[in-house]
Amino acid sequence: MERERSGPGERLADAADGRLPVLDGGGRLLRKAFPDHWSFLLGELALYSLLVLVLTGTWLTFFFAPEMREVVYQGRYVPLRGVRMSAAFDSTLRISFDIRGGLLMRQVHHWAAVVFVAAIGLHLLRIFFTGAFRRPRELNWVIGLTLFVLALAEGFAGYSLPDDLLSGTGLRIAQGIMLSIPLVGTYVSVFVFGAQFPGEEIVTRLYPLHILLLPGALIGLVTVHLILVFHLKHTQWGGPGRTRRNAVGKPLFPQFTASSTGLSLIVFGALALLGGLAQINPVWVYGPYRPDLASTGSQPDWYVGFLEGALRLVPPWETSLAGHTLMWNVLLPAVVLPGLLFLVLYLHPFVEQRLTGEGRQEQHLCDRPRERPVRTALGVAGITFYGVLLLAGGNDVVAQTFRISLNTLTWVLRTALVVGPVLAFLLTRRLCHALMAAEREHLVDGVETGEVRQTVAGGYEGERRPLSTGRPGAPLSPVGRRTGTPAPEHPEPAPRRR
């Protein structure tokens, strides 16, 4: 029987499959399963925010002048007319007031940067609390953490480019941090600024770093991260039919592609609304940078606010040694503290797996935070530590707003920085144990029906029924001394007691 004539679409597919692995390799890729839990969308939120950053940043490069030569402003913003400023600040004002859509693009770009860093941070927290950093995903944890560090550096570089009074104050603090490094601090400062602060080259040097080197590193690491995600497959929550050997969820095409495309449109729309309706970084209010001025209530973007808070909380400790002054009040909070923080984060997957013995086999199921009381308590303690530092970064604003003593607030925050994480650790671990005990009670005794009956002896007892609802497949693991003991893959059902 003669074969029916194929249409143009089928002929095109046959031609492509004859030259490329479209149906064999592509079909296998298109059927790859992706978990559909909302927490797995945080990584996509960061990805689409990065895409908005690249698009809006490319548009802004056409109009921004990365120069520090002095000019006299003659633009539309009347309060600053006739004021001497750098060409960088002048071009920022021109983008904001003279170029159609310029202010919208500036604000969308800034909001996208804020969302990008926040999404990476939340994504890392999700991975940490669910144990998704364990074998074979240790390298992806290292890559994700490096992405977070690069995002912080990229945000600070872009924040400093307009050369306004607020960003200049931040650069002045950064120069003070460089000077606090023993022996080489002066050389580092001169190398970065090209001369004595503020010099005339810092914006010119930050510009290629912001638009070329750091974005290239970010895009490259994101690409490697996604390749590893595809190769290693996603972690997933436990449930019926979900084991360490499979992945259950939406296929890449068309279900996951459709939902991911919808999320991208939501991100684009939300950032556009924020850029059009919510003001952020109004540089014209701050004015051009002058080394002899600093505006009151100066606050950096939230993601570097913890460094500002650490600088404000450490007492003025200094040591003079062999003609050199060691500024511990700057070196400890701005160099040693973040270095130790990120070192601990980089090493945590390897240390935890060595302590628990989980490094001997691959782990593809997510932990519930309550099942790992020590890990969860450590994470909450770290968040508490970060939150106190972030609050301390605005202690002057808080003191002025609530009309309280700045010195008293500073001492309260110093105490909270030491006591708060310890209390958070103890309370969180206790709560995890309590939640696990409550679940075991429900599994063994059943749940209360609300009905009360009288016994033969004349007493009263509550009626219970076997547990029939809840989170299916969630294993109950015995709690170990360190981070909890892995649950058996097929736990035996507990007998019901009367």
CATH number of the domain at 213, please. Answer: 1.20.810.10
Q: What Cα–Cα distance (Å) separates residue 251 from each residue in 33, 47, 230, 474? A: 4, 20, 12, 23
Q: Model's pTM, two decimal places?
A: 0.85
Last residue of one domain, picked from the residues 288, 315, 348: 348
Could you tell me how many residues make up the chain?
498
What pLDDT band is residue 403 in, cutting at 50, 70 and 90? very high
What is the domain range of residue 294? 29-348
Tens digits of per-residue pLDDT, 173-225? Answer: 999 999 999 989 999 999 999 888 888 899 999 999 999 999 999 999 999 99
Tens digits of per-residue pLDDT, 298-326? Answer: 788 888 899 999 999 999 888 888 777 88
In whole angstroms, give the CA distance from residue 339 to residue 326: 18
- What is the signed CA dihedral for 369, 374, 379, 385, rounded to 10 degrees? 150
Considering the domain architecture, whether residues 149 and 269 belong to the same structural domain is answered as yes
Of residues 17 and 479, more confidently modeled: 17
pLDDT at 456 over 70: yes
Q: Is residue 6 part of a domain?
A: no
Last residue of one domain, picked from the residues 301, 321, 348: 348
Considering the domain architecture, whether residues 37 and 105 belong to the same structural domain is answered as yes
Residue type, 366: C
Averaged pLDDT for residues 7-13: 70
Considering the domain architecture, whether residues 41 and 85 belong to the same structural domain is answered as yes
Considering the domain architecture, whether residues 264 and 116 belong to the same structural domain is answered as yes
What pLDDT band is residue 106 in, cutting at 50, 70 and 90? very high
In whole angstroms, give the CA distance from residue 219 to residue 223: 6
Q: Is residue 408 part of a domain?
A: yes
Q: Is residue 189 part of a domain?
A: yes
pLDDT at 22 over 60: no
83-97, 317-331, 361-375, 436-450 — most confident range: 83-97
Residues in CB range of 493: below 8 A, 6 or more apart = 443
Nearest to 114 by CA among 383, 302, 394: 302
- pLDDT at position 21 is 59
The answer, yes or no, to whether the previous bond of 198 is cis (omega within 30 of 0) is yes
What percentage of the chain has pLDDT greater than the value 70? 89
Q: Is residue 358 part of a domain?
A: no
Considering the domain architecture, whether residues 291 and 420 belong to the same structural domain is answered as no
As given in the structure block, the two tokens for residue 286 are 């701050």
What pLDDT band is residue 40 in, cutting at 50, 70 and 90? confident
- pLDDT at position 496 is 37
Residue type, 55: L
Q: Is residue 24 part of a domain?
A: no
Q: Is residue 35 part of a domain?
A: yes
The lowest-confidence range among 52-66, 268-282, 324-338 is: 324-338
**Number of structural domains the chain divides into:** 2
Q: Is residue 118 part of a domain?
A: yes
Considering the domain architecture, whether residues 384 and 329 belong to the same structural domain is answered as no
Averaged pLDDT for residues 344-348: 96
Considering the domain architecture, whether residues 341 and 395 belong to the same structural domain is answered as no
Considering the domain architecture, whether residues 173 and 283 belong to the same structural domain is answered as yes
- pLDDT at position 478 is 43
As given in the structure block, the two tokens for residue 87 are 């060409």
In whole angstroms, give the CA distance from residue 365 to residue 309: 37
- pLDDT at position 476 is 45
Considering the domain architecture, whether residues 334 and 417 belong to the same structural domain is answered as no
Nearest to 303 by CA among 118, 167, 175: 118
What pLDDT band is residue 443 in, cutting at 50, 70 and 90? confident
Write down the mean pLDDT value for the chain. Answer: 86
Last residue of one domain, picked from the residues 317, 348, 379: 348
Nearest to 159 by CA among 109, 118, 197: 109
